[in-house]
Amino acid sequence: MQKLKMPKKISKACKRFRILFIIMLLFTFWGCKGTEMEMNKTQIYFDVDSIYTDYLVSFSDDNNSSDGTSYGYRNLQGEIVIPLGKYQQCFTDTFKNFAFVYGDKLTNSKVIAIDRNEKILFEAYMFDNGPNWLEDSLFRIIRNGKIGYADVNGFIIIAPNYECADQFENGTARVALNCNLVKSENDTEHTSMESDSWFYIDKKGIKIK
């Protein structure tokens, strides 16, 4: 039986189609891979590199932003250092070494701490509708989902290694490397921290019991 031969033009067209199809598959694969890498990459943070003797003062203009109130910072001479329009809320009225600010897109819907150059230092550990306050000379902060502790100048004293952590009291704090946040049945706005592996650390982050 005689075999049918495919015309050369059609044969070349099929080869080109196969090559094009393979290229499209490769682009799709690498596109998905890139998206996955973007989703999994961690936030880049910076450390406080200077202690300032002066400070900035927050100001706002309710009519300046289409999204509501807009905040910025001025120096003591009245010069605008951080203009209006970037942040929808500032939790720090007097900005010395760092300030807690919030903006939907700019801060990825999180309250963050920025330095004078607006570099991200860490995220706020929110407690009672605001950033955690100074307690026993330290306060809780967050980096990439882990809790640590910083001092009044914004220097990180205890690295963020904990999933759950209490405030310091009398020189010690209760922490856990693994824990769960459980919503209260009677109060859905608040959560409690539950862990089977709590332990205590001192102000140097050393485990004491």
3-state secondary structure of 30: helix
- Into how many domains does the chain fold? 2
| Whether residue 131 sits in one domain with residue 119 | no
Whether 67 is in a domain gets the answer yes
Report the alpha-carbon distance of residue 107 to residue 91 in Å, rounded: 14
Of the listed ranges 12-16, 26-30, 60-64, 105-109, the least confidently predicted one is 26-30
| Whether residue 137 sits in one domain with residue 65 | no
CA distances for 135 relative to 132, 147, 161, angstroms: 9, 15, 19
**pLDDT single digits (tens) 101-136:** 998 777 778 999 999 999 999 999 998 889 999 999
Whether 115 is in a domain gets the answer yes
Whether 75 is in a domain gets the answer yes
The residue from 104, 123, 142 where one domain ends is 123
**CB distance 177 to 201 below 8 Å:** no
Q: How many other CB atoms are there within 10 angstroms of residue 116's CB atom?
A: 19
The residue from 92, 123, 154 where one domain ends is 123
Domain housing 66 = 43-123
**CB distance 111 to 101 below 8 Å:** yes
**pLDDT single digits (tens) 49-104:** 889 999 999 999 865 545 567 899 999 999 999 999 889 999 999 999 999 999 87
Whether 83 is in a domain gets the answer yes
| Whether residue 199 sits in one domain with residue 142 | yes
Helix H or strand E segment including 68 = strand 68-74
